[in-house]
A and B are shown apart, each in its own frame.
Chain A
């Protein structure tokens, strides 16, 4: 009890007196520490080769390198065999095994088999996304694609269509570093989103407010103190969005004028009392999105979400003033282009302050993919589908067990670790998920997936066991271990000198299970 009140008092005091550097460009040292911090936040884990490469650059160049344009990936492959429907087995006649299914509309096979083929493709899509993340280049793209997935939070279970989910994912991928206003406009009539939040049922006769509400609450203006849209705005937005349907053959969105509410939709003073009408679906949608993005709170809300994704979850008034507001102003000035805003954040004094190091609890993919990448575990190639897709599947399943299921966020608001007060990131680690993280790393070491001897050899010659443990800990942990802790590890596992393979495994398991290992 005492310890806790002491601790709380201490942290409160510190945060009150903390110097919050703002968005001015970082001018300090550019060492392994800064580079590792940058890479761990923008990639899944920081590999030694990347650390070396980025250390050789100056900060400006390093940030630009993270934003190198990336080609769009090729389609997921058919890695599944025959599909079973009741007692019959069917082939996917549209796509041969090993061939891409992304452009196939699943209309060739027996009608009975199509739902099962769709399910198989949905599974294939999840594995494929896992593969994209595992094979990431040293750029920020995959983390931003995952961010967009969190932000729009479409669930494959709700959409239940592999083609729509694949196209939705490509849309997020295309705009992950692009224009957030344009992406929001396109997502608003994207078939996967139309299905996910019932837009395809939204008609003038029975307006469905589901998307209209979440568009404002979760994707744009949010529910912060300065967000004052009304229930009337939700209803009006729902009416603006009436009439979007999904063509059953092409699975593309189309506007059905007969289902659209052509009345004049009046918005509240929060949106400047704008009214939207005219009857054309695209024109009204663009007007709605422009109206919402015309409110400054939208830019702030998006910047807060990005800050929580990359820096830290607590946004107090000092951060609001020193970071969120300038970034929001920049986002508006840059016409809602995300890249300049992200670059400014990542090259700022604020980002590299000690206060913001090692305070980020790894999400399940930081943990899973980060561990594999940092130990240079060979990842089977996407094209080698019979090897790689089962591998991706098993890792995606690990991610789900640790609370982050790809293509299936828990609800419309994304993953609670990035919004749920007061715990935020702490939501990832609880009495249920912690043992799963432990099982994962223990398994990697015990089963030899991680070659601990090779890892140690790559560290170069170490004078003694203490120095060895110290070096391993320094490489793997962003949060430093004290001398006492290092001594403890040495004395517990290898007091007699350099460890043999068994002892070395124990040392690695111990370090990978330390609470410190969950931080980056």
Chain B
């Protein structure tokens, strides 16, 4: 391991511990203007990845997660499409709800604690238009005021906040890769920023695009034409730069999972391979279309088969293969997946063996760090369902977004309300480990104690060796002076699990007492060292 250079960049706020082995750190570090305070600055992103699976067309939630505790009313409301009770797949820990029979792979994932379900996710004042409701899900803004409402996507806002100035000053050392990659023909609103999409659309990661254009003048006096020309120039430049990066990662990466020959599986395989290839890209989106099942959603002879069943099978198998791939490559620690669809479908089916546009529907999260279980109750289905009856939402979809930001991207609460436009509840759907939230203190302490942090000789003069261990992931080793001010950063990058040495040679620091501080995830450890004259 090379000696770390002093890095004149910011330290993530999350590295700031409230306590430094029993000493109140704030007593030293938080005076305004202190070097540490300056260095804390804005959040530095973590390396967590979010994979969004869009179920295009409005997924029929009632036939995806079947309410066993109100099965009689469910059946009455939609006899021609209802899934037979004895075919519903059971889930560990609940007899109230089960999965569509085509989702055996997801059942296994769920029972292994790697997938969870949130019931009846939606929003107030459901808009039944595909277009508008998709916009609402992607922007998180359901206001009717067309001129003032948010046009940026929820992840576009997040990425724009973390990576200001994109795309002009990118790629760069802080973010050498695309911020978001959409496996799609065209960008979606989800990653739309103020002016630019924060995402890149690709369908073929091997694409070569080599055209360059050195011109940047705007001889025409037309604001609209110049706006469009500037867009085209940026896209031209960035397409070249990023297509090279993506291609390199794709060729370096690998797939170790077994994927079906479905469109979704192919998309997820590309995502896994790009992650495996080392891209630091934070968001990936993939799409599975065909959920607008107004008619022939099921086969007349066997309602557990048909178009919708095929889609759910593809979803379930795709997620499972993807998770397996990541696990085999030990990448699962960094990845969280989530499905969404613009709306669910009506409780009552129609005469065409299908279902019309509805309201709330369940949402699935998957990955190593999800909390096992089904959050929420089965939808309340009346005994006599009218054509217009819908499933009201139990959880606002933006609470899920807010929770992802908080517990996966480790964004602080104030920033979350800013990004989400207002406050939303935090839901127990993601474990505490990724962002160091809500974890058992005893357990954290125990883990921290196990980390190695040594420094010899101590006291030292010109030469010393620093040794530390990390469970893997973003790891920071800092040197603080007696006032708790940051004077050196010895390490700040993503490490594999293991023990590492850093050689220190003529560090130019005055003699005195220092702290060496190791921090990774929610773990930290501090030792004291003396520099002799």
Contacts and interface: CB of A to CB of B under 8 A. Distances in A.
Contact of B213 (A15, A206, A314, A514): A514
Nearest to A225: B146
A488 B215 contact: yes
Given A210-B356, A484-B217, A432 B223 contact: no
A18 B223 contact: yes
B165 interface: yes
A480 to B, nearest CB: 5
B18 interface: no
Interface in B302-357: 350-352, 356-357
Given A312-B224, A431-B201, A201 B130 contact: no
Interface stretch (A98-106, A247-255, A409-417): A409-417
A3 B197 CA distance: 17
B183 to A, nearest CB: 10
Interface string B174-203: 000000000011110100100101001111
Interface stretch (A83-91, A172-180, A383-391, A420-428): A420-428
Contact of A422 (B131, B151, B164, B220): B151
A430 B235 contact: yes
A98 to B, nearest CB: 35
Given A416-B186, A435-B243, A438-B209, A359 B222 contact: yes
B529 to A, nearest CB: 40
Nearest to A214: B129
B213 A434 contact: no
B226 interface: yes
Contacts of B352: 198, 201, 206, 208
Contacts of A420: 189
B229 A426 contact: no
A10 interface: yes
Contact of B147 (A225, A403, A419, A519): A225
B225 interface: yes
Nearest to A417: B186
B187 A479 contact: no
Interface in A352-368: 354-361
A481 B213 CA distance: 12
A284 interface: no
Contacts of A488: 214-215
A210 B230 CA distance: 40
Size bin of chain B's contact surface: 35 or more
A282 interface: no
Of B207, B224, B229, most buried by chain A (CB within 10 Å of CB) is B224
A223 B168 CA distance: 35
A213 B187 CA distance: 26
A432 B202 contact: yes
B1 interface: no
B146 A485 contact: no
Contact of A426 (B129, B164, B209, B231): B231
Contact of A434 (B146, B223, B235, B387): B235
Nearest to A358: B225
A515 interface: yes
Interface residues of A, number: 72
A354 B295 contact: no
A74 to B, nearest CB: 34
Contacts of B243: 431, 435
Contacts of A479: 220, 225, 229
Interface string B15-28: 00000000000000
Contacts of A337: none
Interface string A184-227: 00000000000000100101011111100100011000011100
B225 A431 contact: no
A11 interface: yes
Given A423-B187, A431-B235, A432-B186, A1 B168 contact: yes
A422 B138 CA distance: 13
A346 to B, nearest CB: 18
Interface string B142-160: 0011110001000000000
Contact of B350 (A7, A8, A11, A208): A208
A219 to B, nearest CB: 13
Nearest to A517: B232
Contacts of B202: 431-432
Contacts of B387: 206-207
A62 to B, nearest CB: 23
B225 A1 contact: no
A205 B351 contact: yes
- Most A-side CB within 10 Å, residue of B202, B232, B233, B294: B232
Contacts of A422: 151, 192, 195
B93 interface: no
Nearest to B219: A482
Given A423-B192, A430-B235, A485-B217, A411 B130 contact: yes
A513 interface: yes
B239 interface: yes
A479 B214 CA distance: 16
Contacts of B185: 403, 432-433
18 contacts: A11-B227, A205-B351, A206-B350, A210-B294, A213-B128, A218-B131, A224-B146, A358-B229, A359-B228, A361-B232, A413-B130, A416-B186, A423-B187, A426-B231, A432-B203, A435-B243, A513-B213, A515-B213
Interface of A: 1, 3-4, 7-8, 10-11, 14-15, 18, 198, 201, 203, 205-210, 213, 217-218, 223-225, 231, 234-235, 312, 314, 354-361, 403, 411-413, 416, 419-423, 425-427, 429-435, 438, 479-482, 484-485, 488, 513-516, 518-519
Q: Which 4 A-B pairs give the minimum distances between C-beta atoms? A: A1-B165, A515-B232, A206-B351, A359-B224
